[in-house]
Amino acid sequence: MTKVPVRPEMEGFKPYSPGLSIDEIKKRYGLSRVIKMASNENPLGTSPVVQARLASASPLAFRYAQAGSPALSEAIGAHLGVPASCVVAGNGSDEIIDLLLRVVARPGIDNVVAFRPCFSIYDVQSRLCGLEFRQTDLNADFSFPFDALLSLTDENTALVFVTNPDNPSGYACRADELVALAAKLPPRALLVVDEAYVDFAEPLDEFTMLPHFGKIPNLVILRTFSKMYGLAGLRLGYGVMPEWLADLLLRVKLPFSVNILAEQAGLAALEDDIFLSETLRVVREGRELLTRELTAMGCTVRPSQANFLMFDPPMDARTLFEGLLQRGVIIRPLASYGMPGKLRVSIGNEDENREFLVKTAEVLRDNHRHS
């Protein structure tokens, strides 16, 4: 069949540019060992407690999950101290972002506001929904210019997205600043604070918006099991939002988008305190080590409250990225974020961090010799 007319919004989309996979790189360079520090996954892998729960729940794979995952909403609500009726679990927080846009914003009328650069899902899903996507540049130091953000909003602003801590910079603002922003938004605009990385911020209380939930009527908080909880491949995230909005999302969400194993894994992960504290320790120590060592090699490293670091190497970033690939280390170039001179590396486990540092030093040395 030849191409048929499709929605005009489809004009101009490019495929999502993900981190490269280990198998791809093994094959391309004939390597037997490749490490991936590109997608901010958990450096400790999948928790043994969750693996055991997945194994014991696997006979249930033939069943449909309970529509809307009420048991998980209960558990998350209890864990966070918010009503279960305000929690919507999804197939990653990506699904919640998509649902918010489709439920709240009116195609052809409304607009969505965010910083530039930002997480590409906000932009892609907004445009697919026929919404105008407005952006203002981050400050030069990657802090948030809230006045510029506010000046983009008007009576047709449906959603304002802020990622805190931010990806890819790792910068985080204090929750107080977002409380002030929420109060200044036009009355119908929802403030969506994407806290995918907030678990890694310290001290947590000063960064998360959770203590303010319930006091701010237009606040939505997004969280995910993909990073701190080590479940990126199972797809599980959630939003905490006013009850009326949660109710609307649940009416149109695909009923089984959170599958029965993801739900069990999430329930187990919430109680897995040892894995969580060990993850925090490894990420905080790794973040310090990589910051110190990269700086000593002449890189400019941004302070980070997340499980990754953004840095400017003292050589062409693309060449360093490719030199690392050839040596079996995958990190993330930031050209697709509009920052061709910068790279992002996810904090790995102790072995991965050491290997990344050794190989980076090698590429920098080779480059120095040849220039």
Ligand X SMILES: *Cc1c(COP(=O)(O)O)cnc(C)c1O
Site for ligand X, rule CB under 6 A: 40, 92-94, 119, 163, 167, 194, 196, 224, 226, 232, 237
Least Cβ distance, residue 270 to ligand X (angstroms):
15
Instruction: Identify the three-state secondary structure at position 108.
Output: coil
Helix axes 48-57, 273-296, angle to 10 degrees: 130
Report the residue number, 82 or 232, with the smaller CB distance to ligand X. 232
Instruction: Tell which residue, 293, 347, 317, 326, has the closest CA to residue 33.
Output: 326
Residue 31 CA, chain-centre distance (Å), reads 29
Report the residue number, 194 or 355, with the smaller CB distance to ligand X. 194
Question: Helix, strand, coil proportions of the chain in percent (round to 5)?
Answer: 45, 15, 40
Report the residue number, 170 or 323, with the smaller CB distance to ligand X. 170
- Asked if 208 contacts 198 with a C-beta cutoff of 8 angstroms, the reply is yes
Report the residue number, 213 or 359, with the smaller CB distance to ligand X. 213
Cα separation, 40 vs 91, in Å, equals: 18
Report the residue number, 9 or 94, with the smaller CB distance to ligand X. 94
Instruction: Identify the three-state secondary structure at position 270.
Output: helix
Structure tokens at 52: 């055991």
Least Cβ distance, residue 190 to ligand X (angstroms):
16
Least Cβ distance, residue 268 to ligand X (angstroms):
17
For residue 249, give the amino acid letter: L
Report the residue number, 41 or 355, with the smaller CB distance to ligand X. 41
Cα separation, 202 vs 305, in Å, equals: 7
C-alpha distances in Å from residue 269, one per residue of 90, 163, 224, 274? 16, 23, 12, 10
Least Cβ distance, residue 9 to ligand X (angstroms):
21
